[in-house]
Structure 1
Amino acid sequence: MKGNFYGLRGKQLSLMLITVVCMSILVWAWEKNPLHTSFLHPQNIWLPLTSDLRTEAHVETVVTSQSPESSGKDESSIAEEMTMKDLDEREFEIAPTKGMVDIGGNLTNRVEEKEEPSKVIKSVEPEKNETAEDSFSVTESGGNQEPDSGVDNSKQEERMDFQVPSGSEHFNATLPVENNENPPILDKKQAACNFAKGKWVVDDQRPLYSGFSCKRWLSGMWACRMTQRMNFDYETLKWQPKDCQMEEFEGSKFLKRMQDKTLAFVGDSLGRQQFQSLMCMITGGKDRPDVLDVGREYGLVKAKGAVRPNGWVYRFPSTNTTVLYYWSASLCDLEPLNITNPATEYAMHLDRPPAFLHRFIHRFDVLVLNTGHHWNRGKLNANRWIMYVGGARNTNKKIAEIGRAKNFTIHSIVSWVNSQLPKYPRLKAFYRSISPRHFVNGDWNTGGSCNNEMPMSIGKEVLQDESSDVDAESAVRGTKVRLLDITALSQVRDEGHISQFTIKGTPGAQDCLHWCLPGVPDTWNELLFAQI
């Protein structure tokens, strides 16, 4: 028994020794195996790359910036635009971390790769939305606006703050600025601002003058404070361009900027409204005994039996600044065919500028032209205007169509003014786009109305890049005549018209063409002031 016991014990010791040796060999081999990391450290416990973290944060930031409402920010905080190129160059310039850190704090030699911009853009691309351009239509006949396009303008409020405009090669995305400041005023070295793109906002500092006191410059029929109207919320709205801030208008600054200069408005009654608005803005709506009436210098005096003169000219002696208006509803040269007959017809020279403009353009430093609403068959027949081209009665049936005749004339006048600019290098010329009408359920003589008195009820924002006045935009293209684009921003202001209100309060046809003053035409002059 004893021998067997010691024999078994010796065998066990031998097995144990062999086991220890084998285990030692296995441990040594395991430590030398380069594939052990795949078992000891699963990939899901690695910390992500710095670039991965930043890319995820960028996607979250851009998605959040799509809707200011969802982010709790006011729309005015969405100001800074970025193109796809900006995203490539800014958002994907990652800090030079050349690896990633494991749980033990060791760096690996993994090379960092930049996230492709296309992946991020794809993740934030919005659905196709109705553009502001769809909400505005300019008819070829006379350029009048459709009374009811059937478009729900309230959708403009829900529009994302970035979109791909038609014809644009860039993806424009707006990101929230760090503080809720107004966008910067652009200097000459920066890109020109599209002043027609922006939104209406409430400004407690409005209006710029009182409709009660500006009696010397403002026609009573356009001073809505003098009528039975009771709602004047429309006076408190200010236009805020999307990409920059307009310089605040001040009469003293305007006069200083226009020292020894003459500004001339040549156009229809909407041009007259802009002229009266500017006179009220310069003077603050106060009577200025020092301001001189110098209409005789330009032959603008009231003729015997006439209701009013063909224009007005006022001069501010302190700065020798002259502001002028000349009535030319069609921007054509009108020539009586029989000067001895009071009921004579007039040659309406579609390819000639008004004789007044031809005679005095050398005296102007700033020129603002407009036409549009007199281009209808009823007006031409009532005024006894006969279309002439090339000095002879027009026989071209295509030009004879009213819309084409208007377009032909606009191109002709812009082309002529452009040809004069080299002769007068100091002259800055503008063509003002058409002012929209807001007649609903009829026209001015068929029961049309515009009874809305609530501002921004049909919209407050304009996001389109192109003008709603196609004829005007095409006419100035390729010339040095600038477009004073007021159509779309005025289209959303249907509550600002004279409407049913009159001084005497007698019922009659509603005026959904002209504007209450103070009102929308003040903004046209602010845009003009910003571009002079």
Structure 2
Amino acid sequence: MSLPCIQSSCNLLASCFAILFLVLLQTKIATSALIMSMRNHHNNHQHRRPMLQGNQSTCALFVGTWIRDESYPLYQSSSCPTIIDAEFNCQMYGRPDSDYLKYRWQPLNCELPRFNGLEFLIQMRGKSMMFVGDSLGRNQWESLICMISSSVPRTSTKMSRGDPFSIFKFLDYDVSMSFYKAPYLVDIDVVQGKRVLRLEEISGNANAWRNADVLVFNTGHWWSHQGSLQAWDYMESGGTYYQDMDRLVALERGLRTWANWVDANIDTARTRVFFQSISPTHYNPSEWSAGTTMATTKNCYGETAPMSGTTYPGAFPDQMRVVDIVIRDMHNPAYLLDITMLSEFRKDGHPSIYSGDLSPQQRANPDRSADCSHWCLPGLPDTWNQLFYAALFF
């Protein structure tokens, strides 16, 4: 007599299972979609937060603090004399202090892997790497060669310097590391005796980059040069010649030409592409000494320690806004080695008046002769390469 009731309960139970199944199925589909979305987000923005072993799932690689570490530097300038250009070899050219060599970058929520030159060569065996850009790229290229060489001091090497192309080979591992000078990345041609910076042309330079397994680009400083430091007479864009234009506009046009070339010509399944962010300069002491004394000089001479704290009181380079926008718009974004802010704190790391064989008169006048753009080797670019190493292999 209760059979209809039991049947009704069974039907109700079956309906409940069906609804539960649909809910679970939808949840699984939604979860899968979320996971796929996260994977796509990670692939598209991998240059922002690389994955490393740490106390969180992601490592804020470019956010952190400088801490003193007596095990630094990673090599001595005397062990790498034929590699380091005179303008970067501060110890050889009389810099009296050495505390600036004793700082290690500590990311916010993870440990930065210690550089291993032998492991670098093993991972790169049979491959080629090219740094492309201005002298800040050369600064980093020379640093990396010295870091690796100190790990494998007895390996066979070969070096050839040229303009615009220089190459260093670790012969036992068939690894080549080259530098190609292209300060604007885009082409400069000579037309009727005038230097023309072509903001939409890059093939003249880019043919040299096409076959590298790892590419590290940089540009920035030369776009703001004026007067005798300006390397062009006219800019050309869209068939029109300009005696000058807003330099950030010019930079963006040139970078978009580079980005479009990378998207169209680089197989990212074969070639890793990195872009080193804008390297800061330290010519204005009021940026880091605000509220203490009125700065009377315009250079970094006498600075022997990094800034403390986690924020830089000076101006952040406007060029970084352009770099960030262009890279985010790429179909396959380059990995951004975002060294700008961590380098802002290192007012102590520049060659200053120890930039090569300056005359006594030049050294006596830092306001005119101090180099507060490049970096001493050993020094800050070694940290750039530790970050590069982590991004490349971890």
Contact 1:212 1:223 in 2 (8 A): no
Q: Which has the higher contact order (CA 8 A, sep 6+)?
A: 2
Work out which of the residue numbers 233, 237, 251 in structure 1 matches 2:117. Answer: 251
Q: Which residue of 2 is the match for residue 411 of structure 1?
A: 256
Alignment of 1:203-218 (within 5 A): 203-218=69-84
- Structure 2: give runs of 5+ residues left out of the alignment: 1-50, 287-295, 363-368
Displacement of 1:191 in angstroms is 4.3
Give yes or no for the alignment of 1:383 onto 2:231: yes
Displacement of 1:420 in angstroms is 2.4
State the AA in 2 paired with 1:474: I
Q: Which residue of 2 is the match for residue 433 of structure 1?
A: 277
- Is 425-434 or 475-484 further displaced after alignment? 475-484
Q: SS of 2:106's equivalent?
A: strand
Flag the 1:385–1:186 CA change in 2: closer, same or farther, 3 A.
farther
Flag the 1:377–1:501 CA change in 2: closer, same or farther, 3 A.
closer
Displacement of 1:318 in angstroms is 1.7
Give the TM-score of the pair, scaled to structure 1.
0.55
Quote the Cα distance in structure 2 between the aligned partners of 1:218 and 1:425. 33
Work out which of the residue numbers 323, 328, 337 in structure 2 matches 1:477. Answer: 328
Work out which of the residue numbers 240, 246, 253 in structure 2 matches 1:393. Answer: 240
Q: Which residue of 1 is the match for residue 386 of structure 2?
A: 526
Quote the Cα distance in structure 1 between the aligned partners of 2:154 and 2:180. 22
Q: Which residue of 1 is the match for residue 353 of structure 2?
A: 500
Work out which of the residue numbers 280, 287, 300 in structure 1 matches 2:146. Answer: 280
Quote the Cα distance in structure 2 between the aligned partners of 1:416 and 1:380. 30
RMSD: 2.9
Displacement of 1:433 in angstroms is 0.7
Displacement of 1:242 in angstroms is 0.7
Contact 1:462 1:489 in 2 (8 A): no
State the AA in 1 paired with 2:101: E
Whichever of the two has the greater Rg, that structure is 1
Displacement of 1:185 in angstroms is 4.3
Displacement of 1:286 in angstroms is 8.2
Work out which of the residue numbers 89, 94, 99 in structure 2 matches 1:223. Answer: 89
Quote the Cα distance in structure 2 between the aligned partners of 1:410 and 1:506. 41
Q: Which residue of 2 is the match for residue 336 of structure 1?
A: 190
Displacement of 1:473 in angstroms is 1.4
Contact 1:498 1:515 in 2 (8 A): yes
Displacement of 1:426 in angstroms is 1.2
Quote the Cα distance in structure 2 between the aligned partners of 1:389 and 1:278. 36
Quote the Cα distance in structure 2 between the aligned partners of 1:292 and 1:381. 33
Displacement of 1:206 in angstroms is 0.6
Quote the Cα distance in structure 2 between the aligned partners of 1:266 and 1:476. 16
Quote the Cα distance in structure 1 between the aligned partners of 2:165 and 2:215. 15
Q: Which residue of 2 is the match for residue 138 of structure 1?
A: none
Contact 1:267 1:369 in 2 (8 A): yes
- Is 423-432 or 491-500 further displaced after alignment? 423-432
Contact 1:213 1:285 in 2 (8 A): no
State the AA in 2 paired with 1:393: T
Quote the Cα distance in structure 2 between the aligned partners of 1:210 and 1:286. 14
Quote the Cα distance in structure 2 between the aligned partners of 1:487 and 1:367. 19
| Cα distance per residue 1:306-355 (max 9 Å; x no partner) | xxx223111112221110101111111112214xxxxx212211122252
Q: Which residue of 1 is the match for residue 344 of structure 2?
A: 491
| Cα distance per residue 1:491-513 (max 9 Å; x no partner) | 00001111122445624211111
Contact 1:211 1:285 in 2 (8 A): no
Give yes or no for the alignment of 1:514 onto 2:374: yes
Contact 2:118 2:152 in 1 (8 A): no
Q: How many residues are paired up? A: 319
Work out which of the residue numbers 95, 98, 104 in structure 2 matches 1:238. Answer: 104
| Cα distance per residue 1:86-139 (max 9 Å; x no partner) | xxxxxxxxxxxxxxxxxxxxxxxxxxxxxxxxxxxxxxxxxxxxxxxxxxxxxx
Flag the 1:516–1:492 CA change in 2: closer, same or farther, 3 A.
same
Contact 1:331 1:354 in 2 (8 A): no
Displacement of 1:417 in angstroms is 1.0
| Cα distance per residue 1:243-285 (max 9 Å; x no partner) | 2222111110111111111111101111110111111111018
Q: SS of 2:209's equivalent?
A: helix
